[in-house]
């Protein structure tokens, strides 16, 4: 019996030694309390400056964090610039909405931290991005929350890794659920995180199928509000300049709020992947609850963001602290 237990213990131990799961990494609040005690104030102050210059900082930073975590985990791999020998994540064709203001926010905050001798090269770019994301949400009226920290920066960033890892605007509920489940996120988490579309914009080509060629004999998606569809057609004529940007929340585009869910109730979700949350009976009850109860939404959103921030975290030899967020050391 004792011998059996010993063998069991040894084999369990070897499982942990030889198959360390990156998702088991322990993040904690106040990780930098002794390393760089002022990290949160310094990041917030840089993010606030950037926010005052341009509102695009908000959706750009949020989008960057989401993309970072879904592709190779929250390890700032999305910030790496391509080199002659490596095409990095940020240069995948799906990057169109990764507006440069998100990258710039992280780079400015990193520079401010590096100006303090105690903090210089002690805070990871991945953690800076996680903090900056919390800050842009709060600055635009959303909930604030304590951010778990202690991520390292990843050592790999490949454009090819982006394939199939990000939700497409055409996704249905099953496709959304399975992609989020692959990252340890539930349908509730997915619906909460989708509400990030309460800020930000998109380009016409991402939803033109819904207003021009939905199905044979039925050009307009029937789940789209008729008035809204007409407005979208006016803003996105068939030969539209691909740079034209359309607000994803047409009612309160600069407020992080639960109007996103009220829009869905009126058929004003911009993407198929937004509107389906209301048109599919499995997710509609959650949309209805959060449309009337912003406190319940905020709570679910914080929980989902915290779980998102744990995806694929790098520790030990899987990562390091980058001296330049845009290049490997
Ligand atoms: C997106 O990728 C293209 C190349 O595919 C690149 O030219 C562009 O700078 C990238 N955009 C951003 C915001 O990084
Ligand atoms: C379409 O949107 C308008 C507001 O723009 C709203 O009054 C109307 O109820 C909506 N229609 C449907 C079917 O939800």
pLDDT tens per residue, range 75-92? 999 999 999 999 999 988
Could you tell me if 179 and 119 lie in one domain?
A: no
Q: Whose CA is nearest to atom 8 of ligand 2?
A: 266
Q: Which of 87, 90, 243 maximizes ligand 1 atoms within 8 Å of its Cβ, making it the mutation to test the pocket?
A: 90
Range of the domain at 255: 173-308
Q: Looking at the chain, which runs of residues are DSSP E strands?
A: 153-154, 201-203, 245-247, 319-320
Write out residues with Cβ below 6 Å of ligand 1: 90-91, 93, 95, 98, 100
Nearest atom of ligand 2 to the alpha carbon of 225: 1
Whichever domain contains 155, its CATH number is: 1.10.520.10
pLDDT at 100: 84
pLDDT at 101: 87
Catalytic residue among 44, 50, 67, 90: 67
Specify the higher pLDDT residue, 24 or 36. 36
Could you tell me if 91 and 65 lie in one domain?
A: yes
Could you tell me if 114 and 198 lie in one domain?
A: no
Q: Residue 228 and residue 220: Cα distance in Å, rounded?
A: 11
75 annotated as belonging to a binding site for a ligand: yes
Could you tell me if 121 and 234 lie in one domain?
A: no
Q: Residue 40 and residue 37: Cα distance in Å, rounded?
A: 8
| Ligand 2 centroid to residue 280 C-alpha, Å | 19
pLDDT at 13: 47
What is the average per-residue pLDDT within 258-264?
A: 98
Q: Please tell me the pTM assigned to this model.
A: 0.90
Write the CB contacts of 104 (distance below 8 Å, at least 6 apart in sequence): 50
Q: Judge whether 24 lies within some domain.
A: no
Q: Do residues 74 and 130 make contact, with C-beta atoms less than 8 angstroms apart?
A: yes
Q: Judge whether 16 lies within some domain.
A: no
Q: Judge whether 14 lies within some domain.
A: no
Q: Please state, rounded to an integer, the average pLDDT across all residues of the chain.
A: 92
Q: Do residues 79 and 103 make contact, with C-beta atoms less than 8 angstroms apart?
A: yes
- pLDDT greater than 70 at residue 136: yes
- pLDDT greater than 60 at residue 21: no
Could you tell me if 88 and 211 lie in one domain?
A: no
Q: Judge whether 26 lies within some domain.
A: no
| Ligand 1 centroid to residue 92 C-alpha, Å | 7
Specify the higher pLDDT residue, 26 or 219. 219
Q: Judge whether 67 lies within some domain.
A: yes
User: Is 92 an annotated catalytic residue?
Assistant: no
Could you tell me if 131 and 145 lie in one domain?
A: yes
Whichever domain contains 220, its CATH number is: 1.10.420.10
Q: Judge whether 54 lies within some domain.
A: yes
Q: Judge whether 285 lies within some domain.
A: yes
Could you tell me if 154 and 187 lie in one domain?
A: no
Which two three-digit tokens encode residue 238?
């068939």
Q: Judge whether 22 lies within some domain.
A: no
197 annotated as belonging to a binding site for a ligand: yes
pLDDT at 24: 52
What is the average per-residue pLDDT within 11-35?
A: 66
pLDDT at 1: 38
Cα 221 to its chain centre, rounded Å, is 27
- The number of domains in the chain is 2
89 annotated as belonging to a binding site for a ligand: yes
Could you tell me if 120 and 140 lie in one domain?
A: yes
Q: Residue 271 and residue 175: Cα distance in Å, rounded?
A: 14
Report helix, strand or coil for 215: strand
- pLDDT greater than 90 at residue 4: no
């Amino acid at each position: 019996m004792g011998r059996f237990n010993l063998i069991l213990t040894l084999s369990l131990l070897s499982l942990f030694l030889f198959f360390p799961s990156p998702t088991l990494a322990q993040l904690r609040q106040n990780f930098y309390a002794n390393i760089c005690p002022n990290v949160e104030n310094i990041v917030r102050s840089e993010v606030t400056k950037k926010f005052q210059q341009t509102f695009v900082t908000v959706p750009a930073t949020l989008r960057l964090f989401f993309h970072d975590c879904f592709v190779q985990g929250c390890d700032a791999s999305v910030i790496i610039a391509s080199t002659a020998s490596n095409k990095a994540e940020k240069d995948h064709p799906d990057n169109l909405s990764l507006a440069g203001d998100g990258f710039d926010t992280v780079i400015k905050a990193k520079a401010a931290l590096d100006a303090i001798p105690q903090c210089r090269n002690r805070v990871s770019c991945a953690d800076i991005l996680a903090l900056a994301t919390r800050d842009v949400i709060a600055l635009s009226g959303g909930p604030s929350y304590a951010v778990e920290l202690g991520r390292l920066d990843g050592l790999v960033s490949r454009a090819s890794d982006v394939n199939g890892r990000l939700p497409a605007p055409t996704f249905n509920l099953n496709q959304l659920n399975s992609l989020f489940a692959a990252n340890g996120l539930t349908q509730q988490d997915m619906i909460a995180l989708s509400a990030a579309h309460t800020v930000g914009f998109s380009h016409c080509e991402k939803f033109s199928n819904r207003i021009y060629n939905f199905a044979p004999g039925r050009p307009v998606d029937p789940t789209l509000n008729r008035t809204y569809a007409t407005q979208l057609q006016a803003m996105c004529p068939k030969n539209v300049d691909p740079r034209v940007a359309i607000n994803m929340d047409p009612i309160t585009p600069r407020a992080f709020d639960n109007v996103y869910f009220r829009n869905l109730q009126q058929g004003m979700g911009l993407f198929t992947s937004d509107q389906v949350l209301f048109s599919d009976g499995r997710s509609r009850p959650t949309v209805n609850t959060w449309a009337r109860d912003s406190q319940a939404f905020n709570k679910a959103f914080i929980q989902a963001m915290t779980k998102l921030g744990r995806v694929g975290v790098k520790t030990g030899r899987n990562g390091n602290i980058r001296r330049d967020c845009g290049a490997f050391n």
